[in-house]
Amino acid sequence: MQGFVDADLSGDMDPSKSTFGYIYTIGSLVVILMSRLQKFVALSSIEAEYVTLDEAKKEIIWLADYLEELGKKQREKILYIDS
């Protein structure tokens, strides 16, 4: 299982909040694709990326646990981030 994570700093100028998103794949199959505004105004791009990575980490752990309950144990969980 792999996750690809990205965030921008204040990409939505109206509320000045950062947009973030992630994609999770198993093999070549996309299983989750998500993009939304962060709930707060990040003061730096590092802060926006860190918060996004934390959210993505929680999501990939949840997804792996869910798949394990279905009998599909995931050996590796890898997150890629651009910063």
Nearest one of 46, 49, 40 to 22, comparing CA atoms: 49
Q: Which tens digits make up the pLDDT trace of 25-45?
A: 998 889 888 887 777 777 777
- pLDDT confidence of residue 69: 93
Confidence of residue 12 (pLDDT cuts 50, 70, 90): low
Cα three-residue angle 32-64-22, rounded to 5 degrees: 30
Instruction: List the single range of 4-8, 40-44, 46-50, 51-55 with lowest mean pLDDT.
Output: 40-44
**What ranges do the domains of the chain cover?**
2-81
CB 77 within 8 A of CB 5: no
Give CA separation, 30 vs 8, 39, 53, 66, 83, in Å: 22, 25, 18, 16, 22
pTM, entire model: 0.72
